[in-house]
Amino acid sequence: MSNPTPQPVTGRLYYKLRLIRRAEEEVARIYPSDKIKSPVHLSIGQEAVAVGICDCLRPDDVVSGTYRSHASYIAKGGDLGAMFAELYGKDTGCARGKGGSMHLVDMHHYILGTSAVVGTTVPIALGYALALQREGAGRIAAAFFGDGATEEGVFYESLNFAALHRLPVLFVCENNFYAIHTHIRKRWATTNLCERVRTYGIPAEQVTDGDVLAIRRLAAGFIDGIRTGESGPAFLECHTYRWREHVGPAEDYNAGYRSREELRPWQENDQVKVLGDSLPAAERAAIDAQVEAEVANAIEFAETSPFPKTKELYTHVYAG
Amino acid sequence: MSTQADRGTAAGSAPHPGTPGSSDPHPGAGAHGTRLLSYVDALREGVAQEMERDPRVFLFGLDVADHKGIQGSTRGLLEQFGPERVFHTPLSEDAMTGVAIGAAMAGLRPIHVHIRMDFLMLCMNQLVNMASKAHYMYGGSVKVPLVVRSMIGKSWGQGAQHSQGLYALFMHVPGLKVVAPSNAHDAKGCMIAAIRDDNPVMFVEHRLLYPTEAYVPEASFTVVPGRARVCTRGGDITVVGISNMLVECLRAQELLAEAGVGVELIDPIWLVPLDIETIVESVRRTGRLLVVDNAWTNCGASAEILARVAERCWDRPLQMARMGFAPSPCPPSPTLEHEFYPNPATIALRIHEMVRPGSQWQPDMEQAALGYQLQFRGPF
């Protein structure tokens, strides 16, 4: 890196990386107790993408995500207690117990509701961005999605429409190489994703090593152009790696579709550790203590919150 | 031909808007502030008045701003409201539906237009998995005030993919509202109600109704969700006609009136929420129910209405039947196409058979023809 990153930034990024990591490790720890009533798709190992991008966003910018969105939810400032409560199916959950892990939402922090159907939220982010463009206040939307979403027709429809209308959108592909258990080798005719995207007139860049600072630097450059309206939409492909199984709390390196060897370089470059090690010990300890307290409070909040009353089954089917 | 022109007015010859169940004071022929208006112009007027009233409303879809303007229903809106609020889309129905949902979540009030209902099959993921569920699934933290306009085609060889009445698919899914106005008055009133609704509304139009006229108030008004209209009073049988089939049933009712059969004809207008009570109240008096749908009967709106009536009237014997599309794709050949649809003659015969089983009767086939359908010419 040519420019050393100022310490407040490193501390801030480490805090978010650590918060996501610890929150999800706690989800995995609690999961066998069956208190969490929701299929969980953990982002452990993938935190750097959400953290690097969201660090460049304003509080009033918008993010959209997928069923694997604990990371972007936390990185964007979503209420951690409400997230745990949602996983527990409690009335105080971010979706009042009607969404679950795959449908996190926090409109106070402009986190659009996530979807269990791959690709679905990409055009929804565009629609929100269309409204932001009309509003003219310089707000943008960041649309998070996985490599699998780029195989859906709606992805290309969305690229075209965003470019056509120069919508204030940053497309963020979290490429962890697997759609459930199928590697992109078996799904993509070529791996030149950024090249495909550029044919729509959308600038596209790739980060292949999962470096949170590199992701943040590229995102910051793109976002400036998007915000001012100079560049129109932009695209960032971030290679990353899912350490745990597709759904659930465990590892699955014995399942036969991938090897622990594949994991090793990602673990050696674990951004939580890398950034933590770069901080003065006292600062790191203070952040770690804060993270532990926040996660513990969030779990306590979820555990002590009430379940929704049964009549809630029928509220919110229709608005108004 | 003057009689045919007369027949061309779907609502001019029969009590239609303004009768019980309507949300409006009786406009009536020539009443102050009303005038004869076609269904297509009523659609456009409803949208224009709402766009004038509420800057959050915008309209988009394939071909909404071209010289044909969706058979005229969007004509002039681009000039009136500008390209930010009236614009074409790429042929990307899936993404465009998502865009509409996202814009609605952000506080805008989109109207997404499809010139054929068949094209909605390209929107199903967004409509079924997102639009219908977002308010619920996100714990009430977002609303999706979205109107999805689509048109059912008929006749002149529209064929299998330009003719489907697929609204029952949407009736199945909680969170969506479904409306199928049968006349110009309701086209405007339902459109305004749909735009003001905080939920996704599937707005189902019928191509053959576009030129039909009714008395429509000039001022803004709503035909509110969940209220059916009793179009004609009669004691022998309750008939429910959906969308364009309401008009076919009106003609059947006229034919039967000459034979002394009294038909109580009900237009449900809104299929979700469905005003089943008005239908049940009528069936309890007549003891007979025929539902004539502008769609297939299998798992359709007709099945739903019959089931709900049966559940509520378990304490007495009822005679119930339904009619709809033949259980086949819609063919373009005129002889086959004619056979595919219920028409006033087949509806009247069916009703007569239910009310007076075994007695011989034939409707006047010339009288059975509907003028506005005879006048229709292609390509659309």
Residues in chain A within 8 Å Cβ distance of B139: 93-99, 105, 316
Tell me if B139 and A96 make a contact (CB, 8 A cut-off): yes
A104 near B137, Cβ under 8 Å? no
Q: Does the beta carbon of A153 lie under 8 angstroms from any beta carbon of chain B?
A: yes
Tell me if A126 and B102 make a contact (CB, 8 A cut-off): yes
pLDDT over threshold 70, residue B17: no
Q: Would you place residue B376 in the very low, low, confident or very high pLDDT band (cuts 50, 70, 90)?
A: low
Q: Does the beta carbon of A99 lie under 8 angstroms from any beta carbon of chain B?
A: yes
Tell me if A123 and B126 make a contact (CB, 8 A cut-off): yes
Report the CATH fold assignment for B229-374.
Rossmann fold (3.40.50)
Residue with tokens 């006048």: B375
What span, in angstroms and rounded, lies between the C-alpha atoms of A115 and A122? 10
pLDDT over threshold 80, residue B350: yes
Eight-class DSSP state of A108: G
**What mean pLDDT, rounded, does chain B reach?**
91
Distance in Å, alpha carbon of A29 to nearest chain B alpha carbon: 26
Report the CATH fold assignment for B13-217.
Rossmann fold (3.40.50)
What span, in angstroms and rounded, lies between the C-alpha atoms of B44 and B184? 11
Q: Does the beta carbon of B378 lie under 8 angstroms from any beta carbon of chain A?
A: no
Task: Please give the model's pTM, rounded to 2 decimal places.
Answer: 0.94
DSSP secondary structure string for all residues of B186-231 = HHHHHHHHHHH-SS-EEEEEEGGGTT-EEEEESS-----TT--EEE
Smallest CA–CA distance from B57 into chain A, residue: A131
A70 near A85, Cβ under 8 Å? no
Distance in Å, alpha carbon of B82 to nearest chain A alpha carbon: 13
The pair of structure tokens assigned to B248 is: 């076919």
Residues in contact with B67: Cβ distance below 8 Å, sequence separation at least 6, in sequence order: none
Determine the average pLDDT of the residues in A157-162: 98
Q: Does the beta carbon of B90 lie under 8 angstroms from any beta carbon of chain A?
A: yes
Residues 136-195 of B with CB under 8 A from A: 136-145, 174-175, 177
Q: Helix H segments across chain A? A: 7-30, 47-54, 70-75, 80-87, 121-135, 153-164, 193-198, 212-228, 260-268, 271-278, 281-304
A4 near A217, Cβ under 8 Å? no
Residues in chain A within 8 Å Cβ distance of B103: 127-128, 130-131
Tell me if A127 and B140 make a contact (CB, 8 A cut-off): no
Closest to A144 (Cα-Cα) out of A40, A210, A237? A237
Q: Which residues of B are catalytic?
A: 93, 162
Q: Would you place residue A3 in the very low, low, confident or very high pLDDT band (cuts 50, 70, 90)?
A: low
pLDDT at residue number A76:
98
Tell me if A315 and B103 make a contact (CB, 8 A cut-off): no
pLDDT tens digits, A15-61: 999 999 999 999 999 999 999 988 999 999 999 999 999 999 999 99
What span, in angstroms and rounded, lies between the C-alpha atoms of B28 and B43? 19
Q: Would you place residue B378 in the very low, low, confident or very high pLDDT band (cuts 50, 70, 90)?
A: low
Question: Do the domains at B13-217 and B229-374 have one common CATH topology?
Answer: yes
Q: Helix H segments across A151-211? A: 153-164, 193-198
Q: Does the beta carbon of A63 lie under 8 angstroms from any beta carbon of chain B?
A: no
Tell me if B106 and A157 make a contact (CB, 8 A cut-off): no
Q: Which CATH architecture has domain A7-305?
A: 3-Layer(aba) Sandwich (3.40)
Domain ranges of chain B: 13-217, 229-374
pLDDT tens digits, A255-305: 999 999 999 999 999 999 999 999 999 999 999 999 999 999 999 999 999
Q: Which of B90, B107, B134 is closest, CB to CB, to A113?
A: B134
- Select the residue from B138, B143, B170, B270 to test the A interface by mutation, using most A Cβ atoms within 10 A: B138
A68 near A42, Cβ under 8 Å? yes
pLDDT at residue number B367:
81
Tell me if A99 and B177 make a contact (CB, 8 A cut-off): no
Determine the average pLDDT of the residues in B114-121: 96
Q: Does the beta carbon of A154 lie under 8 angstroms from any beta carbon of chain B?
A: yes
Please compute, for residue A305, the number of CA atoms within 13 A of its CA located in the half-sphere on the CB side.
Answer: 26
CB atoms within 10 A of CB A233: 31
pLDDT over threshold 50, residue B1: no
Q: Which of B101, B135, B141 is closest, CB to CB, to A127?
A: B101
ipTM exceeding 0.90, yes/no = yes
Q: Does the beta carbon of B82 lie under 8 angstroms from any beta carbon of chain A?
A: no
pLDDT over threshold 50, residue A185: yes
A64 near A112, Cβ under 8 Å? yes
Residues in chain A within 8 Å Cβ distance of B90: 157, 160-161, 164
pLDDT tens digits, B184-202: 999 999 999 999 999 999 9
Tell me the torsion sign for CA atoms A85, A90, A96, A98.
Answer: positive
Q: Which residues pair with B321 in a beta bridge?
A: B290
Of the listed ranges A114-123, B42-51, B271-280, B359-368, the least confidently predicted one is B359-368
Of the listed ranges B8-12, B263-267, B286-290, the least confidently predicted one is B8-12
Share of residues in chain A with pLDDT > 70 (%) = 99
Tell me if A127 and B138 make a contact (CB, 8 A cut-off): no
Determine the average pLDDT of the residues in A201-212: 97
pLDDT at residue number A37:
84
Smallest CA–CA distance from A104 into chain B, residue: B138
What span, in angstroms and rounded, lies between the C-alpha atoms of A131 and A140? 10
Tell me if A124 and B177 make a contact (CB, 8 A cut-off): no
CB atoms within 10 A of CB B262: 15
pLDDT at residue number B369:
80
pLDDT at residue number B157:
85
The pair of structure tokens assigned to B198 is: 């905080």
Residues in chain A within 8 Å Cβ distance of B110: 127
Q: Would you place residue B380 in the very low, low, confident or very high pLDDT band (cuts 50, 70, 90)?
A: low
Closest to B162 (Cα-Cα) out of B146, B145, B150, B171? B150
Determine the average pLDDT of the residues in B341-354: 96
Distance in Å, alpha carbon of A60 to nearest chain B alpha carbon: 12
Tell me if B140 and A120 make a contact (CB, 8 A cut-off): no
Closest to B78 (Cα-Cα) out of B56, B100, B47? B47
B105 near A124, Cβ under 8 Å? yes
pLDDT over threshold 80, residue A67: yes
pLDDT tens digits, B137-158: 999 999 999 999 999 999 888 8
What span, in angstroms and rounded, lies between the C-alpha atoms of B293 and B274? 14
